[in-house]
């Protein structure tokens, strides 16, 4: 909860990736809140009141996964909503002739996005979701210590650059809406 709130304010892409990690942690913990409390919540050096809030946040997350029938895989709605919001920003930046930097970053990433869509059978997914899926897959490969090809790393760099730019633009947009 604490980390999620911080990431949501600072970098929306890291926030999405973090929430995906939380989903996987909950699944790996068999939706057992006591296991999560022992392995995660109790490691926070915060007051018991804040720990209680964190426990409630995880409990709510578990309920969302179960009620949305995402126990095995997939993103809960709150993640999908944020991804779609970032993709709307992406689309508006592509269509804005003043946003030449974004257009250039997208031009470099687009062939890799199309390739990833095809390989992962996500032809109907939006560009931002594809990039996030790819970056999350890279994170999992690194955690497992698997080798990553030079071509894959090149593709991931274009995704990373595009998503970093989107995160910056998102933060600027959200700051102007406050």
CA distance 53 to 67: 21
Quick: pLDDT tens for 18-68.
Answer: 999 999 999 999 999 999 999 999 988 889 999 999 999 999 999 999 999
- For residue 57, which of 19, 93, 94, 100 has the smallest C-alpha distance? 19
CA distance 76 to 71: 10
Residue 144 CB neighbours (<10 A): 7
- For residue 90, which of 9, 152, 168 has the smallest C-alpha distance? 168
pLDDT at residue number 1: 64
Chain position carrying tokens 């892409």: 13
Phi, psi for residue 150 in degrees, rounded to 5:
-60, -40
pTM higher than 0.75:
yes
């Amino acid at each position: 909860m604490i980390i999620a709130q911080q990431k949501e304010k600072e970098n929306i892409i890291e926030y999405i990736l973090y929430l995906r990690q939380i989903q996987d942690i909950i699944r790996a913990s068999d939706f057992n809140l006591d296991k999560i409390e022992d392995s995660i919540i109790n490691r926070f050096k915060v007051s018991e009141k804040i720990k209680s809030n964190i426990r409630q946040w995880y409990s709510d997350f578990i309920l969302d996964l179960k009620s949305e029938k995402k126990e095995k895989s997939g993103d809960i709605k709150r993640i999908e909503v944020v991804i779609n919001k970032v993709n709307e920003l992406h689309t508006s930046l592509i269509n804005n002739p003043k946003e030449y930097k974004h257009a250039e970053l997208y031009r470099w990433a687009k062939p890799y996005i199309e390739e990833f869509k095809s390989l992962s059978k996500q032809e109907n997914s939006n560009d931002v979701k594809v990039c996030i899926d790819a970056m999350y897959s890279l994170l999992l490969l690194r955690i497992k210590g698997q080798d990553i090809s030079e071509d894959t790393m090149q593709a991931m760099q274009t995704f990373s650059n595009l998503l970093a730019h989107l995160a910056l633009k998102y933060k600027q947009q959200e700051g102007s809406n406050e």
